[in-house]
Amino acid sequence: MSGSSGEQAPAYRSILSISDEAARVQALNEHLSTRSYVQGYSLSQADVDVFRQLSAPPADTRLFHVARWFRHMEAILGGACGRGEPCGRQASKGRRGQPQWSPPAGSPPCKLRLYNSLTRNKDVFIPQNGKKVTWYCCGPTVYDASHMGHARSYISFDILRRVLRDYFGFDVFYCMNITDIDDKIIKRARQNYLFEQYRGKQPQAAQLLEDVHAALKPFSVKLNETTDPDRKQMLERTQRAVELAAEPLEKAVRGGLPAEEAARCAEVLLEEAKDLLSDWLDSTLGSEVTDNSIFSKLPKFWEEEFHRDMETLNVLPPDVLTRVSEYVPEIVNFVQKIVDNGYGYVSNGSVYFDTVKFASSERHSYGKLVPEAVGDQKALQEGEGDLSVSADRLSEKRSPNDFALWKASKPGEPSWPCPWGKGRPGWHIECSAMASALLGASMDIHGGGFDLRFPHHDNELAQSEAYFDNDCWVRYFLHTGHLTIAGCKMSKSLKNFITIKDALQKHSARQLRLAFLMHSWKDTLDYSSNTMESALQYEKFMNEFFLNVKDILRAPVDITGRFEKWEDEESELNKSFYDKKTAVHKALCDNVDTRTVLEEMRALVGQCNLYMAARKAARRRPNRALLESIARYLTHMLKVFGAIEEESSLGFPVRGPGSSLNLESTVMPYLQVLSEFREGVRKIAREQKVPEVLQLSDALRDDILPELGVRLEDHEGLPTVVKLGDRETWLKEGQEKRRVEEEKRKKKEGAARKKQEQEAAKLAKMKISPSEMFLSETDKYSKFDENGLPTHDSEGKELSKGQAKKLKKLLEAQERLHKEYLQMVQNGSFK
């Protein structure tokens, strides 16, 4: 206490004399800062008088002395008093009021940001309707096998979709289309149909040769007109292959060979000239193909193949799948409304979008995604399709930048009735009509490959916003990056065209997904041996950790033994665990940065491995509960990414061949018994010194069990670790281990041999008498002194003093060596 209650009266009187309340409270705060008013505080009437002037503690945190004094007085007197009301002591009751509580400041939450092609920035993701996310993804044009470019896009979007749904908790409604009406499909379907018809007629050898030569003429023209060097090289290879295949048949016809031989040569030529003949047949007979069913057979087949590939890649199916052929009435209505709104016009049975009028409208903007590409005629014509860029078609447009909403069908093309005559949908209108039918006037996310930005997606935006007369048909546009093959663009002309089925022959779906996860979804991904090796090593690294944790968890322990006292090592690992989870969350908020996430997960596993190794070295058990928590978290994250396909509580599941049976839970108890039995047998064999049993035990570990997908790891003084995994992986690891051991053996043998040779050479040198060491070098020296030291070179010229001095040093060194040799002989070291 800084002073008695009597001493405080003058100060309080001075404070009470201040008329302004704010100034009075400020003065009181300064006065109280010099006093102890809690412990040992003597209450005075002056305190009561001042307290009666206050109805509540001040809100200003800087006046904390007054606030604290007020709560103390309130506790003693039993509550605040109204002005002029008497206050009585309540201290005898021993009651105190609760101090004021304030919530922690906390930290601002991390917000999810996505790279939005509409702004070319990472924008905070805000769905239009709470947690519901409406998402439309451009699907494939199904006329050929799905390739790694498709995998790049659909695996990447599958990862994004899973993260939004399973990590951030959004309710994602995911729609995707199948383009089954398109210029490429029409042309390929006609070609296939006409070629099969031609083959079915079994043309005579002479007729086949005549047709092949006829097909080669326009092909040669196309070859000469081609400027792209890679495509030109591909066409030249095709031409040469056809010419080489035609030569045997020509000889067979001229030489009158048996019919069977001629038929065999004809079949070879038919296969080699298939593309060439198909193109020629289509150019001459394509307009005669009128049956619409011919154009549906091809896309139906390839759509089924696409779905099988996606299922194998563990890509989630869409919530809704749309096909262009099933939405033709909706497309017709969509086009009609664009015309009614003044942004479309009819020309010669086709309907085109008026880009000039749309762009001049105050409400609209054309080329939102890639404004710098507007006017790129090459890109625009590619978007229109091979069958739609003839001179007559181009002349129907008001502006070269206008694009087809509806195409009048020519002979040999499928058609549907509409107000403008029979025709078929344009490419860009398909997605607009189908997506709008399901998602309305504005969707949260639209996705597709990077190469679709212009003209396809820019045209989608324009025609949809012309239909709805808005400017927000898509809120966030996401585009996946390109895929290259060993640094080159994937193309058949470069002979690096890789289908999904081809890729799955070399690597598993999980390994492909891990490769994609190790790269940003919006950047170019290079599919190469280095990329896949990184993915394989990552999978192996994570799998080893999971197997080690599973082995620890299998060790028998009572219920209370599962919970052990934490020491500094556990606290440090747990802190790192939570730090890594925070880093993972930040990375996912940052445009779903899976590359950083995988690195953080790798670092966490590395820290766990160091912790387990330290415990193993100290012959102490690691904390199973902590390791299990970490392993389950990592398993959960890999599930979120779709890298763990099945239901697995911890790590990568092990399934039986062609079965959904969980092999691990079924066979591991038996393997554990086998391991313990083997360990007991080895112990007895060592004690009784029975090497044959130890060799059999090693053979079981190294040769027999790996064939069954089982690996045993023996550790001195510790129980054997049992790991169940992929048979091929274990066998490869065994082969690699044997290869490394063999290299070590050869290296050791080589080093021993080299050492032996060096010792032999040294011994041979030691045996030479100093007086004889130079005598054999007659090509260098012609005269020697009495000690065998050279005096003249081979031409009889006397050696210089420097040369003589150098040779003398060599002679003296040899004298020492030879003396050492003689001493060894005398001691009996050599016989």
169-209 confidence digits (pLDDT tens) = 999 999 999 999 999 999 999 999 999 999 999 999 999 99
- The mean pLDDT of 139-152, rounded to a whole number, is 96
Side chain identity at residue 805, one-letter code: K
CA distances from 145 to 186, 493, 504, 546 (A): 16, 16, 13, 36
- On the question of pLDDT at 527 being above 60, the answer is yes
What letter does residue 706 receive in the DSSP assignment?
A: G
206 Cβ neighbours under 8 A, 6+ residues apart:
253
- The mean pLDDT of 609-636, rounded to a whole number, is 94
Q: Give CA–CA dist 700/702, Å, rounded.
A: 6
pTM value surpassing 0.85: no
Q: Give CA–CA dist 43/589, Å, rounded.
A: 58
Residue 539 contacts residue 178 (beta carbons within 8 Å) = no
- The mean pLDDT of 706-727, rounded to a whole number, is 82
pLDDT at 475: 98
What letter does residue 519 receive in the DSSP assignment?
A: S
Greater confidence (260 vs 461) lies with 461
Residue 272 in tokens: 């080699």
Task: Find out whether the peptide bond into 103 is cis, omega within 30 degrees of 0.
Answer: no
pLDDT at 89: 47
Quickly state the pLDDT bin for 440 (edges 50, 70, 90). Answer: very high
- On the question of pLDDT at 803 being above 70, the answer is yes
H helices, E strands: number in the chain: 27, 18
Q: Per residue in 300-349, pLDDT tens?
A: 999 999 999 999 999 999 999 999 999 999 999 999 999 999 999 999 99
Question: How many degrees, rounded to 5, is the angle at CA 310 between CA 308 and CA 314?
Answer: 115
Helical H segments across 716-800, by residue range: 727-767
Please compute Rg for the chain using Cα positions: 43
Task: Collect contacts of 663-670 with beta carbons under 8 A, ≥24 apart.
Answer: 663/709, 663/724, 664/550, 664/724, 667/724, 668/554, 668/722, 668/724
**Segment (H or E) for 320:** strand 320-323
Q: Per residue in 62-74, pLDDT tens?
A: 887 888 888 877 7
Quickly state the pLDDT bin for 253 (edges 50, 70, 90). Answer: confident
Sheet holding 488-489, edge to edge: 488-489, 483-485, 525-527
Q: Where are the domains of the chain?
A: 12-76, 183-299, 329-480, 528-650, 664-725, 768-830
Residue 203 in tokens: 């043309």
- On the question of pLDDT at 438 being above 90, the answer is yes
Q: What number of CA atoms fall less than 13 Å from residue 482's CA on the CB side?
A: 12
Which residue do the tokens 């089954």 mark? 180
- On the question of pLDDT at 658 being above 60, the answer is no
Q: How many CB atoms lie within 10 A of CB 755?
A: 10
Q: Give CA–CA dist 413/816, Å, rounded.
A: 100
The lowest-confidence range among 50-64, 231-245, 569-583, 635-649 is: 50-64
What number does CATH give the domain 329-480?
3.40.50.620
